[in-house]
Amino acid sequence: MSPMALGGECSLEPLSACTLQLSTCTPVQTDKRAACPEQEGFRPGKVDTMKRRTWMASLMLSAATWLAAPVMAAEEAPDALVKRISGDVMAAVKADPAIQAGDVNRIVLLVDSKIMPSVNFNRMTSSAVGRFWRQATPEQQKQLQAEFKTLLVRTYAGALGEVKDQTVSFRPMRSKPQDTEVVVRSEVRGRGEPIQLEYRLEKMDDGWKIYDLNVMGVWLVETYRSQFAQEIGNKGIEGLIDTLAQRNKSSGKAS
């Protein structure tokens, strides 16, 4: 099934976990003479100078590591980003019985902490609203983003409770170093037929961000754009906001 009906259910299979392995290196002292500087004719003053230099070098290395951290995160490849998010979400779902039971509040917390930092939700919402986005006031845009986010979370909440032994494989990504928009393709295997998932990402100042999702040939943003356009045509922007709010309230009571 696909998210064709506004606020309807979707049988999207979640992605499987990806494991990152870290290795550590332990320095080995090979020159025993360095353990006792005085034996090599070092004066106390020189020993203090060496300590100060060592301390300064450590401080500079620490500072460089902290300063480089945001740059390293921003340079994370788009396919690596999707794999990491998939692994984090899978691990969180399997460790939280409340999410497995469909607790929407817990799912919202999971989405906010693990997924939303890597999603350009402003673009996702504005693309779904289409040409009417520019007609909306800043307050209406804010309301549309909030209601659209709630709609998506509630629509796909049931899928997170079905996480069991699914596996996911990623196809080689075709892109050039200068590309600012890419598509990451994957296939989820579990019970039933394999599900094709594709992610559209754009490169921003703080790294790659997801802004659309394709489930078995159906792009999420395009699907909602046609529905939203019809709703706005009948009731205006405020009418769309009211419809989304009512739908979300109904879904909240049902859950």
Question: Is the pLDDT higher at 128 or at 50?
Answer: 128
Give the domains, in start order, of the chain with CATH numbers.
77-254 (3.10.450.710)
Task: Give the C-alpha separation, 161 to 241, whole Å.
Answer: 28
pLDDT, one tens digit per residue, over 213-232 is 998 889 999 999 999 999 99
Distances (CA, A) of 135 to 126, 159, 240, 241: 11, 34, 13, 14
Determine how β-strand 207-215 pairs with β-strand 195-204: antiparallel
Highest mean pLDDT among 20-24, 48-52, 250-254: 250-254
> Does residue 35 have a pLDDT over 60?
no
* Res 163: pLDDT: 67
Sign of CA dihedral 139, 141, 144, 149: negative
Confidence of residue 246 (pLDDT cuts 50, 70, 90): very high
Mean pLDDT of 173-185: 92
* Beta-sheet strands, E only, within the chain: 167-170, 181-189, 195-204, 207-215, 218-219
Task: Give the C-alpha separation, 114 to 135, whole Å.
Answer: 32
Task: Give the C-alpha separation, 70 to 64, whole Å.
Answer: 11
Mean of pLDDT over the chain: 74
pLDDT, one tens digit per residue, over 74-121 is 479 999 999 999 888 878 888 888 888 888 888 888 888 888 899 999
Mean pLDDT of 131-146: 97
Distance of CA 144 to the CA centre of its chain: 21
> Does residue 28 have a pLDDT over 80?
no
Question: Is the pLDDT higher at 236 or at 21?
Answer: 236
Lowest mean pLDDT among 40-54, 69-83, 176-190: 40-54
Mean pLDDT of 199-212: 95
* Res 158: pLDDT: 65
Task: Give the C-alpha separation, 161 to 2, whole Å.
Answer: 17
CA angle centred on 170, ends 168 and 176, rounded to 5°: 160
Confidence of residue 254 (pLDDT cuts 50, 70, 90): low
Highest mean pLDDT among 22-36, 97-111, 196-210: 196-210
If you ran DSSP here, which 8-state letter would residue 107 be given? Answer: H
* Res 93: pLDDT: 84
* Res 41: pLDDT: 42
Taking a C-beta distance cutoff of 8 angstroms, is the pair 78, 173 a contact?
Answer: yes
Within 13 Å, how many C-alpha atoms sit on residue 188's CB side? 26
CA angle centred on 221, ends 219 and 224, rounded to 5°: 105
Mapped onto helix, strand or coil, the DSSP state of residue 84 is: helix
What are the φ/ψ torsions at residue 197 (nearest 5 degrees)? -125, 135
> Does residue 181 have a pLDDT over 80?
yes
Task: Give the C-alpha separation, 237 to 64, whole Å.
Answer: 49
> Does residue 126 have a pLDDT over 80?
yes
The residues, ordered by sequence, that sit 6+ positions from 102 with a Cβ below 8 Å of its Cβ are 157, 158, 160, 161, 255
The residues, ordered by sequence, that sit 6+ positions from 250 with a Cβ below 8 Å of its Cβ are 7
